[in-house]
Structure 1
Amino acid sequence: MKKNYSYLLLGLLAFACQPKETTPDYTAMSDDERLKVATEMAHNTIMVDGHVDLPYRMKVGGFTLQREILDVSVRTDGGNFDFPRSKEGGLDAPFMSIYIPAGNQQTPGASKALADSLILMTERLAETFPDKFAMAYSPADIEANFEAGKISLPMGMENGAGLEDDIANVEYFHGRGIRYITLTHGKANLIGDSSYDTVRLYNGLSEYGEQVVKEMNRVGIMVDLSHVSDDTFKDALAITKVPVIASHSSVRKFTPGFERNMSDELIQAMAKNGGVMMINFGGSFIDSAYSAGSTAVREHLVNWLAENNLSRSDSAAQAYIAEYTAANNPFPTVQRVADHIDHVKNLVGIDYVGLGSDFDGVGDSLPTGLKDVSMYPNIIAELLKRGYSKEDIEKICYKNVFRVWKAVEDYATAQK
């Protein structure tokens, strides 16, 4: 019996003749069309921000465990983060910075106590508004919260001083939900030297700091190398068995002499390690001209207020300040942030860059077009304009940091 292949051939021909899906040319779109696409991408893609300083803002704003004064479940006056603006911008997983000021290092026990209180505040936020926020301790948690329409609150400790002088606190804070630790902050601590500190106690990591990095690997906490000195950075890379992150650092090429940002050598070393660099949006981080420009504006306004016998709270002063600042705008733009992402991509590839805004942590220095969490579509639109693909955007928004996080989890699981 002969088989009839005619229907099969007709089916194959019909399939071959169907129009193929083509990738849109985002560069050919108008700015309005591109922003619409960028907004859809932001809402349909998991977006992780490596560093948002909301917990310390809540502390300064008067948040207590008994009564919430700063209510970020609704639109707030001031600050860069709240639930409505996060939803507008497509932000799904801002790493809550458990920030320990360097001054706390002077009093034994003060750093750990502050870390515990800020963790409790973050947990209270999720408990108080369970329909809006949820804690997250893994990429899987973020994915589940994203499907449920909730904003995840993963946590990172900014300043390893919170560990005090007890290596057991590494495991303790993992149990409390901390998933990265920034080894230092503004001053050298027991772990190592800081980029901001002129005093170099160890010329890199201390012996205790070496133990801390190894213990972080063992328990599953990402090593964050923002804020550390170049030597501390290199020492940590030499010791870690897993990829690292820089949760909120930018490119030193655009800010010569600013050690807080990462040099090309460090960017290349981090890429070789498999890590990810998450770009800080702060004005002084992305453009060396910002500091000089903002100082000039500030000096003019101080002198003008004195000459006119006005204070900043006077309505006439507020109008003049707004007008003068707009006319002499010292702020960089969203394009400058894209320049930093471009530099990392061109230097080491798209797999090693992410977003680490430092919202609520860099004051009013944020660039035009990225003033708060509602504005992430603007950076996505700018990247699309420069030829980035949808897959590139997904890597920047979450896939790169998820890759590192999962590698850290897998290594820790293998040690048990």
Structure 2
Amino acid sequence: MLLPLSSHNVIQYLRDAGLCSSEDGSLNESELPESSKKNFNLLVTLGGNRQLLVKQERSVGGDGIPHEFFNEWLFHQLLQQFPVLGNIRAIAPLVLHFDEENSILVRNYLSEYVELGRFYRHNDIFPPEIASAIAITLAGLHRATFQRREYREFMLTAPQGQFRYNFYNPAQGIGSIGPEIFGQIPTEALKFYVLYQRYESLESAIADLAYEWQPCCLTHNDLKLDNILIHSRWNQLDNCLVRLIDWEACAWGDPAFDLGTLIASYLGIWLKSLVVDPTIELEESLSLAMTPLEVIQPSLLALIRAYLNAFPMILEYRSDFLVRVLQFAGLALIHQIHDRMQCQKYFDNGDISMLQVAKNLLTIPEQSVMSIFGVSESEIVSPLAKLHKIPQPEKEQQLVRLYYEKTRLRGC
């Protein structure tokens, strides 16, 4: 980085970029506690209570989604280029400035909104109307860009001096591991890799997801609850209850991935509240959760029904869409476990329970529909089938899938 930002130079940087002036009045900046290993975040308050969020990547060119800040800037440009998308208020552009050379992004800060994950944790309520509002917004984005060549070509734009020949496929399992892993995590956490690699059915299901990934519309690709904002007066408003933010991973992708990632975030609330003990069986542990699945189910059902009602065409394109959504939810749960283990350096019985639920979602998704939504797949899809012809999935297999061996832990 050519210019590391700090609370000492951020005001001068904003003035040089033309985003504020000395006439703005008193200024007060503070680092957000949400600053991560990947990004450095500063919340700057200008005169008149105008607030800007200034983000800078700590390391450019590392692992993960390539060109993250550029992707968010590109999404901002897309909304400007195609007003039909910019009119969807929940995804309205917030970005004001992008400095590619210094990897700095500046956007408006929505002080009247709070992160949905924090809202759920603090209030312990799960109103179905919130889930429906998210689903309608997401379906609107997917439907408006579905199979539209102009949007796809726009998203192929690459940073200056680089090329983008294809789109990143996020449907990936945990990467191969080597001897260096022993110095990165405690010995007891190695059990995650042992369990993850134990089942060939799990590895095959993830490989199938990656193989059958079919990008067909614009997707967020990181739609967890902390990337969704809810208005502080959500129960008094008729519209714009939610805002979707942090489009750093957005690309041309598979809509089932967005919906599955979102469902996994809801399931994470339930699974993180489990009462775990070596003497308790998994089924009993799931039923003793502090936040039972039955409390979250109305929101999950409202989510999937609102999405399909707003975008029924997706069932004509993929008759197995609901099954794929649950498989992607299982994959997202595995990444939740892995990311937390990498950050917090532990793996406990609660994580084992979450991994078992993830495995079931990936390997037996048809049987998991009733468990997750509380109703059968036919009860969800049948009302739509009366209005839209839904073809049966083809059973023929035209290609032989190739599965590549991964590095495994031996002797553990």
TM-score by length of 1: 0.23
Q: Which has the higher contact order (CA 8 A, sep 6+)?
A: 1
Scaled by the length of structure 2, what TM-score is found? 0.24
